[in-house]
């Protein structure tokens, strides 16, 4: 698994009608693939997030959309950034991701996290609980999901889940790459070191050096080579020559880049790559003025040399 440059599709508010919505998603994914991106991600949400729009704005179910994108692309890896564990029984998630891997001919990534959007849980009837509750659920879910992905039959009688000889067939590969999102130093990072191939660090630019240090220490503590745990950061990108820093709200400035393709690449280098993070997953902001073909390509052309590609 290598993700030096990923593209996340964070919203589906393009100013088009519903018939043109998914063709626009396909166009974004195909542009990312042609531009040399390693992976394309969608969010695993049912309602739009507060910083991107109103809850009732368009939002597609993640795995249905990814299955369709698998048939519209040929090379890029496909996944969620990241799956909310609370939204699906772990056996269903294992079945969904192995199915996506079969459909995509071995391009699925399992991104997973605890789940955090309380409004969705309350509205749709999913138990939210405390962060500790959700983290413990994720830990127990992995006891089911990971063996199923390896082709094993899994019997678990846990606090949150029960299975009896659960299995997932067909499978395309013996190992589907595993990504977790977060940066908690006591729980998430040690869990990433123990089980995962990739950690998407959710933190501000100023926190990255510290987080990478903790990642390295967590790996070394269990005898793992830190180089085998790949890291990335999700960065919001306002790709527009006319955008200036004054346009960026204070609450997202630590996770956003803006301006021309050259300006964005320079910001990513100094704020992300120079901090020791391996790669970047760019989330182009399109809800303000729709999808503009060519912007992802322009940024990718400048970024690839910085990322070793």
In this prediction, residue 74 has a pLDDT band, given cuts at 50, 70 and 90, of: very high
Query: Are 28 and 7 in contact, with CB atoms under 8 Å apart?
Result: yes
Instruction: Please determine, for residue 247, whether its predicted confidence score (pLDDT) is greater than 80.
Output: no
pLDDT for the residue numbered 251: 75
For residues 10-23, give the mean pLDDT.
91
The full set of domains in the chain, from first to last, is: 5-114+177-307 (3.20.20.30)
| pTM of the shown model | 0.95
For the chain, how many helices (H) and strands (E)?
Answer: 9, 12
Is beta strand 39-42 parallel, antiparallel or unpaired with respect to 77-80?
parallel
Closest CA to 58 of 24, 93, 12: 12
pLDDT for the residue numbered 309: 58
Cα end-to-end distance, the chain, whole Å? 15
Instruction: Please determine, for residue 303, whether its predicted confidence score (pLDDT) is greater than 70.
Output: yes
* Three-class DSSP labels, 259-273: ECHHHHHHHHHHHCH
pLDDT for the residue numbered 1: 65
pLDDT for the residue numbered 243: 80
pLDDT for the residue numbered 8: 97
Instruction: Please determine, for residue 43, whether its predicted confidence score (pLDDT) is greater than 90.
Output: yes
Instruction: Please determine, for residue 186, whether its predicted confidence score (pLDDT) is greater than 80.
Output: yes
């Amino acid at each position: 698994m290598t993700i030096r440059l990923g593209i996340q599709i964070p919203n589906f508010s393009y100013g088009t009608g519903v018939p043109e919505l998914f063709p626009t998603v396909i166009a974004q994914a195909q542009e990312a693939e042609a531009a040399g991106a390693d992976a394309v991600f969608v969010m695993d949400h049912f309602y739009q997030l507060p910083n991107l729009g109103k809850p009732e704005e368009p939002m597609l179910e993640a795995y249905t959309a990814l299955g369709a994108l698998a048939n519209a692309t040929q090379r890029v890896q496909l996944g969620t950034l990241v799956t909310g564990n609370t939204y699906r029984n772990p056996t269903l998630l294992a079945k969904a991701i192995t199915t996506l891997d079969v459909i995509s001919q071995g391009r699925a990534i399992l991104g997973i996290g605890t789940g955090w959007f309380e409004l969705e849980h309350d509205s749709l009837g999913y138990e939210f609980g405390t962060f500790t509750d959700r983290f413990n659920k994720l830990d127990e879910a992995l006891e089911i999901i990971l063996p199923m992905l390896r082709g094993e039959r899994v019997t678990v009688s846990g606090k949150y889940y029960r299975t009896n000889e659960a299995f997932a067939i067909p499978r395309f590969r013996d190992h589907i790459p595993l990504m977790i999102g977060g940066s908690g130093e006591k729980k998430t990072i040690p869990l990433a070191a123990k089980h995962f191939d990739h950690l998407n660090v959710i933190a501000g630019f100023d926190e990255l050096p510290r987080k990478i240090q903790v990642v390295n220490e967590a790996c070394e503590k269990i005898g793992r080579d830190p180089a085998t745990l790949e890291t990335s950061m999700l960065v919001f990108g306002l790709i527009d020559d006319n955008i200036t820093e004054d346009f960026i709200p204070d609450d997202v400035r630590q996770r956003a880049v803006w301006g021309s393709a050259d300006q964005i690449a320079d910001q990513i280098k100094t704020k992300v790559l120079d901090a020791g993070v391996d790669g970047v997953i760019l989330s182009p902001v399109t809800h303000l003025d729709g999808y503009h073909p060519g912007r992802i390509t322009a940024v990718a052309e400048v970024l690839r040399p910085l990322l070793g590609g």
